[in-house]
Amino acid sequence: MDSHRTILDVILKSVQAELAEAKRIRSISELERMIADAPPPKSLAKLLAGRFGLIAEIKRMSPSGGLMPTKNVEKAPKLYSESPVVFGISVLTNKTYFGMSVTDLQNIRQLTPKPILRKDFIIDEYQVYEARAFGADAILLMANILEPPRLHKLFNLANELGMEVLFECHTAEQIRQLPPQAKIIGINTRQFDMPPEVYQQAQSRPPSSTSDPTTDLAKLELGRLLPSHAIKVAESGLHWSSIPAVRKLGIYNALLVGTALLRHPEGIEVALAAYEKAIQQTSTQN
């Protein structure tokens, strides 16, 4: 059975364990009290509906990228906040595989005025309450790990709490199963059906590499199936050199990027400047 284990199987096991521990420490009633005292959520959709830009990610490590340089991670909130092309900040909150928690999200909330997306493998209502309680303005819901009824239920709860949802899809079938009210939809090029060993091997690629063997950029064509009213986000494996090709598709409003920013050997400033330049150049051409 283990020989057929995918990276997603492994990550979801850690999610269950972290969720059980969080529930043990803090009740939903306590989260609701925190929500009552929290500032109102900011709209990520409103910013993404403008000109083309980024949702920039913060994580300390990843299954495909390994450890991110600490100095890049520490500088990220300020640099993302100041960048004219960053419209929202994605914060990973899985401790086991990404080195971050909701406490990190709460700390980053104090450092930026921009909308924050809680990016995690959200499978339970508790995580939705937790996201809002710790300062998230939006959450990620993954259509490849949630049955449609649960996907819709978590979406409705997020809306009730004032948060927006970025839906993540990998197939045409998943797109068809989204709620018709879905406002922000991402196509993720990440291939989660690969064994953990492939991800471990991917960590050894040079930090300057422009490609990620755990992604398939051809999946971005799925964006053509997204409803016309949706704000469309391209996710995973998108180097700044990918921007001309993505813009040429004429589909996407934004990219969600993390590893290429955080792993850059010359510093996150250099990487962010490269994205800003590529976006500026392609904006004048479109």
Per-residue pLDDT tens over the stretch 177-215: 999 999 999 999 988 888 888 888 888 788 778 878 888
In the predicted structure, residue 129 carries a pLDDT above the cut 90: yes
Using a cut of 0.85, tell me whether the model's pTM lies above it: yes
pLDDT digits (tens, 9 = 90+) for 160-183: 999 999 999 999 999 999 999 999
Domain of residue 91: give its range: 2-285
Mention every residue, 6+ apart, whose C-beta is less than 8 A from residue 284. Answer: none
Confidence of residue 66 (pLDDT cuts 50, 70, 90): very high
3-state SS assignment for residue 88: strand
Structure-token pair, residue 4: 């057929």
70 burial via Cβ count (<10 Å: 0-12, 13-18, 19+): exposed
Percent of the residues in the chain that have a pLDDT greater than 70, as a whole number: 98
pLDDT digits (tens, 9 = 90+) for 235-260: 988 999 999 999 999 999 999 999 99
What pLDDT does residue 1 have?
Answer: 38
Q: How far apart are CA 25 and CA 130, in angstroms?
A: 12
CATH number (domain holding residue 239)? 3.20.20.70
Mean pLDDT of the chain: 94
Overall number of domains in the chain: 1
Q: What is the mean pLDDT of residues 216-220?
A: 91
Q: How far apart are CA 249 and CA 255, in angstroms?
A: 13
- State the maximum Cα–Cα separation within the chain, in Å, rounded to a whole number: 53
Chain centroid to Cα 110, Å, comes to: 19
Q: How many other CB atoms are there within 10 angstroms of residue 163's CB atom?
A: 23
3-state SS assignment for residue 56: strand
Confidence of residue 82 (pLDDT cuts 50, 70, 90): very high
Q: What is the pairing mode between strands 66-67 and 61-62?
A: antiparallel
